[in-house]
Amino acid sequence: MSFDTDVLISGAGAAGLILAIDLARRGVSFQLIEQNAQPFSGSRGKGIQPRTMEIFEDLGVVDRMAAAGGPYPPLCQYRPDGTHKMSLLTEADVFPTAAEPYAAPLMLPQFATEAVMRERLSELGHHLEGSKNP
């Protein structure tokens, strides 16, 4: 069996899509395969961490991710005595710095994250090869 590609990527989830985008940018031949005919419609993860936003900046999608997501809403903690306390997931006075340009996590469901990455991969002239089965 011979292949016309340097890299075979199995799975078009977040990790597979990031690898595909990076290889496409570098001109490396790859094939991205996915067994599911449609992208996963749920969300296995709802948050993008600040360091991941730096990777998205390098891949050219950070603005689209920020536009598709938003800040985490306040958390409500219920106490045994019936009272509750509202708090933020991150400190309100956290600001971007040169060392950490994205100071707070971004709330963005996995399916939306993957949609942005699929769009970027398409812009780079690539697509994934999926199953023909529903």
What was the pLDDT predicted at 132?
Answer: 46
Q: Write down the pLDDT at residue 44.
A: 81
The two structure tokens encoding residue 28:
């490396």
75 φ, ψ to 5°? Answer: -95, 140
DSSP of 6-36? SEEEE--SHHHHHHHHHHHHHT--EEEEES-
| Cα–Cα distance, 4 to 35 (Å, whole number) | 20
Asked whether 128 and 5 are in contact (CB, 8 A), the reply is no
Bridge partner list, 77:
85
Torsion of CA 7, 2, 129, 106, to 10 degrees: -10
The tens digit of pLDDT for each residue in 14-59 reads 999 999 999 999 999 999 999 887 777 877 888 899 999 999 999 9
What's the pLDDT tens digit per position in 51-104?
A: 999 999 999 999 999 999 998 888 889 999 999 998 877 666 678 888 889 988
∠ Cα 124 12 65 (to 5°) = 65
pLDDT digits over 111-129, tens only? 999 999 999 999 999 987 7
